Amino acid sequence: MQFVVLHHTAWPAHPAHYDLMLQMKPGLSDADPVLKTFATLTDEFPDGKSHADARARKAGAGDPVAQANLLRLIADHRRAYLSFEGALSADRGRVVRVEAGALNFLGTPDAGLQELRFHLEGQILRGDYRLRHMGGGTYAFERMRRV
């Protein structure tokens, strides 16, 4: 399995953000919607570091570093986005791939998506991470262990 982080910009009436896409199954073609997708709430790269940090939790919602690691679950995306960069159809802006690599789930993914644990092997994101459901479609992206 693979993962990708896309920087999504120039979408009218939508703020710039990052999309973390996790391949949940191989799929038969690039058209298969196999990428569970989580969008950042800010235009900050999600590194998984700050939300699990006690100082960031104390700083609360006003801390932009902590906010970078809060993501919201959005619609599943097609497998083609693992390698896609460029303009999106229907005037939905542009995406640039800023990170990609291998993805290995640590255990079976929770069908209810309350918590996903996985290992990432990218250039920036390397180590064990989790996405923990915080309620209302919001997830905390946390690094558990760096490799």
78-114 pLDDT per residue, tens: 999 999 999 998 999 999 999 999 999 999 888 889 9
CA–CA separation, 82 vs 33, rounded Å? 11
The identity of residue 112, as a single letter, is G
Stretch among 54-68, 80-94, 116-130 having the lowest mean pLDDT: 54-68
CA–CA separation, 65 vs 63, rounded Å? 5
The partner residues of 126 in beta bridges, in order of sequence, read 121
Stretch among 27-36, 67-76, 122-131 having the lowest mean pLDDT: 67-76
The partner residues of 6 in beta bridges, in order of sequence, read 19, 97
Q: In total, how many domains does the chain have?
A: 1
The partner residues of 127 in beta bridges, in order of sequence, read 120, 146
Residue 80, both tokens: 């083609």
Using 50, 70 and 90 to split pLDDT, how confident is the model at 61? low
Sign of dihedral through CA atoms 115, 116, 119, 121?
A: negative
Instruction: Supply the range of the domain harboring residue 115.
Output: 2-146
Whether the CB-CB separation of 39 and 95 falls below 8 Å is answered with no
